[in-house]
Structure 1
Amino acid sequence: MIHQAPMKGCRVLIVEDEYLVGDDLADALRTRGAQVIGPIPELAAALSVSHDSFDVAVLDVNLRGETSYPLADELMRNGKPFVFTTGYCADMIPSRFQNVRRWEKPWQLEDVTADIAQMCSKHQPPVAA
Structure 2
Amino acid sequence: MAGKRIFIVEDEAILLCDLEDIVAELGFELAGSASSQDEAMDLLSAAPQIDVALLDLNLNGRTSYPIADRLIAAGVPVLFITGYGRRSLEGRFSECHVLQKPYDEARIADALGRLLGTHG
Where does residue 125 of structure 1 map in the other structure? Answer: none
Judged with a 3 Å threshold, the aligned counterparts in structure 2 of structure 1 residues 56 and 63 are, in CA distance, closer, same or farther, namely same
Question: Structure 2: which 5+ residue stretches go unaligned?
Answer: none
Note if contact 2:33-2:40 (Cα within 8 Å) is conserved in structure 1. Answer: no
Letter in 2 for 1:107: Y
Where does residue 115 of structure 1 map in the other structure? Answer: 111
Check if 1:28 corresponds to 2:22: yes
Take 2:104 and 2:17, find their aligned partners in 1: how far apart are those partners? Answer: 14
Where does residue 90 of structure 2 map in the other structure? Answer: 94
Q: Kindly report which structure 2 residues correspond to 1:8-27, keeping only aligned pairs within 5 A, or say none.
A: 8-27=2-21
Check if 1:70 corresponds to 2:66: yes
What is the DSSP-based 3-state SS (H/G/I as helix, E as strand, rest coil) of the residue aligned with 1:85? Answer: strand
- Give TM-score scaled by structure 1 length: 0.79
Deviation of residue 111 (structure 1)?
1.1
Question: Structure 1: which 5+ residue stretches go unaligned?
Answer: 1-6, 123-129
- Give TM-score scaled by structure 2 length: 0.84
- 23-32 or 92-101, which deviates more: 23-32
Higher Rg: 1
Report the count of equivalent residues.
Answer: 116
Note if contact 1:16-1:60 (Cα within 8 Å) is conserved in structure 2. Answer: yes
Take 2:78 and 2:98, find their aligned partners in 1: how far apart are those partners? Answer: 9
CA deviation vs aligned residue, 1:30-88 (integer Å, no higher than 9, x gap): 12221113431011111122344211100000111110001111122222101000111
Q: Indicate the structure whose relative CO is greater, using CA pairs within 8 Å and at least 6 residues apart.
A: 1
Check if 1:41 corresponds to 2:13: no
Letter in 2 for 1:30: A
Take 1:24 and 1:17, find their aligned partners in 2: how far apart are those partners? Answer: 12
Note if contact 2:99-2:111 (Cα within 8 Å) is conserved in structure 1. Answer: no
